[in-house]
Amino acid sequence: MIDFAAARRMMVDGQVHTADVTDPRLLAAMLDLPRERFLPEDKAQLAYLDLDVRVSEPAAGARRMLKPMVLAKLIQAAAIGEGDHVLDVGCATGYSTAVLSRLAGSVVGLEEEPALARFATEALAKTGVANAKIMTGPLTRGLAGEGPYDVIVIEGAVEVIPDGLTDQLKNGGRLVCVLQRGPAGRAMIYLRTGRDVSGRAVFDAVAAPLPGFAEAPTFVF
């Protein structure tokens, strides 16, 4: 029988805190939230390992939950304030949405797979999250009707970021993601200033590709 509370402490101390994650609110959220409840029962034993855990079958795109260290560093880079309105793109089973809910004023988790969206909704209810909700729709389109947002978090590796997503940021809003082409990747933060969006790398990272965010192929004649 796994002692999940002990495993959670080891995750925070051994994977997250040692990776220069120092935000006390974020550390407290990850220490308190039962990550295992955001996984199917047959995968609960994988909840606190240093890996991206698969939460859907290959036929559905082999979606994965971001490993704890990458998720924590992305969220810390976004510098989320207590009153911020956040969009969590590709929230999968809702764990990231739950973590964000401990830092922000309100969170919308966006998921395009109905089964994952249902799971996330139930998991949030079971863990007492009251300031977040899950909505279903194409990930690449975001949710303009629920915005604009102070922060957008993309839960997976992308090759391109659709303009429609950055358009949903408030002035001064931030978007964080893992930009990855091939085996190498960098965590990025993008800042909207007026109509301009600028980006910079914040740390090396890799993640499972998020469907729909691949770069269009170019043809050479």
The answer to the question of residue 66 being in a domain is yes
Mean pLDDT within 176-180: 95
What pLDDT is stored for residue 219 in this prediction?
53
Number of separate domains in the chain: 1
Rg of the chain over Cα atoms, rounded to whole angstroms, equals: 16
What pLDDT is stored for residue 214 in this prediction?
83
CA distance 187 to 201: 6
For the chain, percent of residues with pLDDT exceeding 90: 86
The answer to the question of residue 44 being in a domain is no
| Res. 61 pLDDT band, cuts 50 70 90 | low
Mean pLDDT within 27-54: 95
CA distance 208 to 180: 9
The answer to the question of residue 173 being in a domain is yes
The model's pTM is: 0.94
Token output for 38? 């955001």
CA distance 97 to 174: 16
Residues 117-134 pLDDT 10s: 999 999 999 999 999 999
The answer to the question of residue 45 being in a domain is no
Cis amide bond preceding 148, omega within 30: yes
Q: What is the DSSP letter of 49?
A: S
What pLDDT is stored for residue 217 in this prediction?
63
Mean pLDDT within 62-88: 96
| Res. 161 pLDDT band, cuts 50 70 90 | very high
The answer to the question of residue 42 being in a domain is no
What pLDDT is stored for residue 168 in this prediction?
97
More confident residue, 148 or 218: 148
What pLDDT is stored for residue 62 in this prediction?
78
Range of the domain at 156: 52-204
Q: What is the DSSP track for 133-154?
A: EEEES-GGG--GGG--EEEEEE
The answer to the question of residue 75 being in a domain is yes
The answer to the question of residue 87 being in a domain is yes
The answer to the question of residue 166 being in a domain is yes
Looking at 17-31, 99-113, 205-219, which range is the least confident one? 205-219
Tokens 């999940």, located at residue: 4
pLDDT at residue 163 tops 90: no
What pLDDT is stored for residue 87 in this prediction?
98
What pLDDT is stored for residue 89 in this prediction?
98
More confident residue, 27 or 163: 27
CATH number at residue 103: 3.40.50.150
Between CA 151 and CA 7, with CA 15 as vertex, the angle to 5 degrees is: 110
More confident residue, 218 or 212: 212
